[in-house]
């Protein structure tokens, strides 16, 4: 091979290493930070995780509130029984 070919190969190698270093130095993506605010779940480790905070009482019952348009949906449950109430403005 001639000197021109070796220079082209060496130049391509340098560019490839620089691109790899720039990719490795890029900041890591935040977990769950890219889910739009209107969605009802977050994506963490490739899994859908509910975004709604569930309030758990000492007796094991729980309550959560979800906004759906102009309505507030309140879900409460205990021992596998779930009750849902809607209040629309």
Quick one: pLDDT at residue 4?
62
Quick one: pLDDT at residue 61?
93
**62-68 vs 55-56, strand pairing mode:** antiparallel
Which of these, 54, 66, 59, 61, lies nearest to 80 by C-alpha position?
Answer: 61
Quick one: pLDDT at residue 66?
81
Which residues of the chain, if any, have pLDDT below 50? Answer: 32
Quick one: pLDDT at residue 62?
93
In order of 20, 62, 75, the CA distances from 58 in angstroms are 53, 9, 17
Domain count along the chain: 1
Q: Domain range spanning residue 21? A: 3-88
> If you count them, how many residues does the chain have?
89
pTM of the predicted model as reported, rounded to 2 decimal places? 0.42
Q: pLDDT (tens digit, 9 = 90+) per residue, 7-23?
A: 777 766 667 666 666 56
């Amino acid at each position: 091979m001639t000197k021109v070919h070796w220079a082209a190969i060496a130049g391509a190698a340098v560019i490839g290493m620089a691109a790899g270093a720039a990719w490795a130095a890029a900041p890591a993506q935040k977990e769950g930070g890219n889910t739009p605010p209107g969605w009802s779940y977050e994506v963490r480790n490739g899994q859908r995780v509910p975004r709604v905070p569930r309030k758990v009482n000492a007796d094991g019952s729980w309550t959560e509130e979800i906004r759906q348009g102009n309505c507030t949906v309140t879900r409460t449950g205990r021992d596998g029984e779930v009750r849902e109430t809607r209040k629309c403005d």
